[in-house]
Structure 1
């Protein structure tokens, strides 16, 4: 005897599926389901439109990020960087109000020739900016300079006497030692997304994609940035003395030592 077929059971919830408000308007259950399905599709579309509008509205906020990304690919920046905190001997000029005299190009780049070992650097370009943002690229670096109370940026570009090397020294006049130390430390990773510009584009220029090295030095309320490399952008070889090159360009720091002596004559040794 063939057992009776089991009828497909439909839950009471499905049989009684209904929306009271729509039922009162005379819509059948099938019509109600169709209406809900349409509403669901419209809801998804509305959400998509809302999301598109939100993205469009925020688009302007994304533009600087894209601009920064573009700058990173077109602006030269160091491959290697190390930051150094401020030694105690700069304590007399720990704050800018203890050293109020503004920087001048004649003061910072008084020596037109700098020497260290076999390296001889000749000053090629200089520039002094009161608008610190004009001396750098990268939105985050600009913001950090604002936070550090930057009032001046002095830049000097050098070529070696034999034409093999190029170098740049940048001195930033900041609020205090804490600001200078924080800036040079932040560049340990931040130098990849923002760095200083050449004083005069088209003259002494670090090649994009070429190998360069840099260091940051907090000195009281100042931060000095050293940037060095071969003129052809090649990696340094066995005959390249980047240590002497770095020390040579730091000759510009004599201006900062003179300020320490002026603030506290017995605080700093002659250099």
Structure 2
């Protein structure tokens, strides 16, 4: 903690004649003795505009005495000694209030907490950018994340995964952002999707997370449907797809190289970015609760998909919506465990969009 030192401001004199005060005259009233008043400007900087730093870390090396500027040096008394007040106990002159105990620990704690908060924010920004990110787009829509952790399993009365009418217990999707503005309308990007285009690249066939040590691999060649309503369950979601001008839906299954994870992918080709941003909200199991897409069937372990907790990760990319959905093959995963395989499945499905985005310039 800092404190003012000396106790008076520039040019100020303490009350004279007080024991130990600067104004007390020495015996005989010798001129220039320790009773002489302080010089104009005082014994160096002080007052409200100056704080003495106890550690002196910012001014002088640790362990070195602090030197006053030449103009602030006090005048010298007899025999070259600086003027001093009467001697205090143990022969020490009174020097004003003693230094107070510092609160460096509190300051350090505040700084450390700030670093943690900023690091968390920056880490968050980095993850959003690497996953597709958020930004404004030309449509005027304000991009935002739609997240529903703990959304639950199939609603009451639904047959569950046996009939395909299941939904993720964790859902996270982001609206389209400025990177994808070249794909904002189907009129700008009118070429229909094909399975060869979507799954032709090696990165669409396999995606790896080196931290979690998970590799999701494409099973088969994928499935293309022109009737989007046939790829989802829920009357409200079927109607929404029709209103969004959906012309195509591509689905595929992915399985991890260790056979522990099963992923399901869907890509919807819609009228424009506004329709895509609306659809990711309609797909939200809690906010929209209109239904979800139907997983494709396949050989083991694909046929065991949806028996336990599942998670979905996706987003709008111009006039496309890409959703990756994953769960453990044995049905024993917790919701957070499904985030990595779901994200890998989505990443594989959106690989073709980068080429489309460049080609639309």
**Is the structural similarity TM-score above 0.5?**
yes
The correspondence of residues 172-251 of structure 1 with structure 2, limited to 5 A, is: 172-188=268-284, 189=286, 192-200=289-297, 204-205=302-303, 207-236=305-334, 240=337, 242-249=338-345, 250-251=347-348
The correspondence of residues 134-173 of structure 1 with structure 2, limited to 5 A, is: 134-173=230-269
**Would the aligned equivalents of 1:78 and 1:211 in 2 still touch at CA under 8 Å?**
yes
Cα distance between partner residues in 2 of 1:88 and 1:159: 32
Count of aligned residue pairs for this structure pair: 195
The correspondence of residues 34-113 of structure 1 with structure 2, limited to 5 A, is: 70-71=157-158, 73=160, 74=163, 75-110=165-200, 111=202, 112-113=205-206
Cα distance between partner residues in 1 of 2:237 and 2:335: 31
TM-score when normalising by structure 2 = 0.50
State the Cα deviation string for residues 53-100 of structure 1 (Å, max 9, x = none).
xxxxxxxxxxxxxxx964464522101112210010110110001111
Change (3 A) 1:156 1:207: closer
Structure 2 stretches lacking a partner, 5+ long? 1-154
**Would the aligned equivalents of 1:76 and 1:206 in 2 still touch at CA under 8 Å?**
no
Q: Which has the higher contact order (CA 8 A, sep 6+)?
A: 1
After superposition, the CA RMSD in angstroms is: 2.3
Change (3 A) 1:78 1:206: farther
Structure 1 stretches lacking a partner, 5+ long? 1-67, 265-271
Cα distance between partner residues in 2 of 1:72 and 1:178: 32
Cα distance between partner residues in 1 of 2:328 and 2:251: 19
Counterpart pick for 2:214 among 119, 143, 168: 119
Instruction: Mark the structure with the bigger radius of gyration.
Output: 2
Q: Which structure's residues are more often helix, by fraction?
A: 1
Cα distance between partner residues in 2 of 1:234 and 1:94: 39
What SS does structure 2 have at the residue aligned with 1:216? strand
Change (3 A) 1:257 1:70: same
State the Cα deviation string for residues 138-158 of structure 1 (Å, max 9, x = none).
111101100110000011110
